[in-house]
């Protein structure tokens, strides 16, 4: 992948991973992480089956769940404590600070 292609992919990912030209395995991993983030109580065996079908083994799935869960945790802590973003990070337009 050339630099221009990489920059295009990163730009698409910044907007919405669903619109990015991702390989099927990467898209499945993003769907898994999004579901774990947005609706953790809805996770089911079928979510693991999708990742297994894309070639992920149990260790890779475990690692992905750990990473997604850690980011969810740390973001919730930052939100709860009103942690200021680093200067290079754009603010979340859905969240107005008072």
Q: How many CB atoms lie within 10 A of CB 47?
A: 17
pTM for the structure as a whole: 0.81
Q: Is the pLDDT assigned to residue 2 strictly greater than 60?
A: yes
Domains, the chain, with CATH or none: 22-80 (1.20.1290.10)
Q: ∠ at Cα 48 (33, 11), nearest 5°?
A: 30
Residue matched to tokens 């979510």: 47
Q: Residue 91 has what pLDDT? A: 66
pLDDT at residue 87 in the model: 77
Report long-range pairs for 38-43 (Cβ below 8 Å, ≥24 apart): none
Calculate mean pLDDT across residues 78-93. 79
């Amino acid at each position: 992948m050339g630099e221009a292609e990489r920059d295009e992919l990163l730009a698409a990912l910044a907007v919405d991973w669903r619109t990015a030209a991702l390989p099927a395995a990467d898209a499945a991993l993003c769907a898994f992480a999004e579901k774990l983030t947005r609706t953790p109580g809805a996770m089911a065996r079928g979510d693991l089956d999708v990742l297994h079908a894309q070639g992920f083994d149990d260790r890779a799935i475990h690692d992905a769940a750990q990473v997604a869960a850690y980011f969810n945790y740390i973001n919730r802590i930052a939100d709860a404590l009103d942690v200021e973003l680093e200067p290079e990070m754009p603010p979340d337009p859905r969240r107005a600070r008072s």
